[in-house]
Structure 1
Amino acid sequence: MSDAGAPPQTIDAVPLKHPWRWVAAAVILIMAFLFIYGAATNQAYRWSVFAEYVFDKRVLTVGLVNTLQLTVYSMALAIALGVLLAVMRLSPNPVFRWVSWVYLWIFRGTPIYVQLVFWGLIPTIYQQLRVGVPFGPTFTVIDLQSLSIPFLLATLGLALNEAAYMAEIIRAGISSVPEGQLEASTALGMSWGLAMRRTVLPQAMRVIIPPTGNEVISMLKTTSLVTAVPFTLDLFGITAREIAARTFEPVPLLMVAAFWYLIVTSILMVGQFYLERYFSRGASRKLTTKQLEALAKAQAGTGAM
């Protein structure tokens, strides 16, 4: 029989899932387009000057290299000193605990810019460094004012300040590992050092790595404050002070500095991602694609037997 006389059936419209997400995404895209278009057409940015100096030899070989060296050297010293301070904070010796606490109190309680200014004044405060026996003969005298050590002073200033924050990060990571882990390792015959290296620290790294990565990125940007020492051969000093003062073009040179800070920061963020993934192995029950494939092959091999 024919259904020609039957009324047409209505099809319910399927509502769009999460419509406000699409609205929010559209608004964000429109705002981003307007911002980029406004920046691209604004003559104040002087993009021609930006293109001229973004790959300038002095910016790359002096400013960027010195900034990277300041970051690496300062963070290496800060991590080493931070480990020592963290161990002192966890020590049963009250003298060690109080010394560590006072160090953290001073360096976390005063601004980094003020500390760098103080380090820059060290050659003025201590004009000569005498090496010898206390209240006895002097072996040698070093005239600090005759030395050109702004890079060294900047590195020390950044490292000593950062060590206070790294100490708390490392202490929190070690404290996050259950005490039973250390007790079980000791019961297996491991020494304290071996247990820390094989059992405690690998688990603590899951907590230590994310904030440490953030501190490295923060250190990279904090190097722009070393002009307080004064050290003016970093990326910010070369672009915003030296070249901009000569060309009278501060805005495009600031954009050059921001561009290279952003590039290096992006690379550091990628490295941090892979480090976090490496040390978080076994922390989650969710299997990776390779683990699922290996499990499927193992099950297939078992079924074929």
Structure 2
Amino acid sequence: MKFIIVDEMHPSIVSMLEGIGIVPDYRPSVTRMDLLKIVMNYEGLIVRSKVKIDKELLDLATNLKIIARAGAGLDQIDIEEVNRRNIKVVNAPEGNRDAVGEHAVGMLLSLMNKMQTGDKEVRNRIWKREKNRGYEVGGLTIGIIGYGNMGKAFAKRIKGFGCRVIAYDKYISGYSDEFAQEVSIEDIFNNADVLSLHIPLTEVSRRMVNRKFIANFKKNFWLINTARGEVVQQEDLIEALDSGKIRGAALDVLENEKFETLTSVQKLNLENLVERENILFTPHVAGWTYESLVKINEVLVEKLRESIGRI
């Protein structure tokens, strides 16, 4: 089978694919317009998030049998259309779950201990100990929404701080383990001091964290989002930060991560957040470690090996 790889990946992907009998065409600089002209020549497509897999592309991909997503999220793929055409889809959340779990812990510790502001001030020869007094994670109740690969990886790590960890997942049950207790969404609302999001972007989850959702929390809480920026309604996040309902937020993702395409409203919202000391940003790198690039390849190739045998 001939596969085209349209995003930057760890170079090990080529030899790994050749090892299972796939002919790889590594073309990370290809544009969508270029891909539309040549996609019919391939039986497999390996993507990250650069190219949207929609009806226009699929209509031209007449020989496509399998799509491999190098990562977890499938929101850039029209799953309904893909299923209608009997095209197999595989992804690799196992490859970067450890990276996401570690990053989420790091963001929470940095946010609660004001490390980002302390560092900035010391670099400017400002020494304010009391202003930068932090909070301890131990003893808090950590609420997780989404207990798949990422949520469980975060729970495994944060549990070691002496927290109570509770988790809600709309789509699975019976997942209580040594790291987290399965609870209802009402239990999350009633008990969480920290909320960490580990859910895919769907029509159900889009702007799920809005004014109504936030108002359900009994306590003022810290928010961590390493999932997708569109899960959080930015205007309502700002309102909750103003009121103190959200004590601070660690954001690895934004509603629109292409700054050159921000709308006027998105620009205003980002400017508002940037000015706050209780906001910590990272540029969508929670699952983007040196190690995860290789692990994603390993997971993806193993899943392709299994899938090709069934096509």
Q: Structure 1 length normalisation: TM-score? A: 0.24
- Name which one, 1 or 2, has greater alpha-carbon Rg: 1
Q: Which has the higher strand share?
A: 2
Q: Which has the higher helix share?
A: 1
Greater relative CO (CA pairs within 8 A, separation 6+)? 1
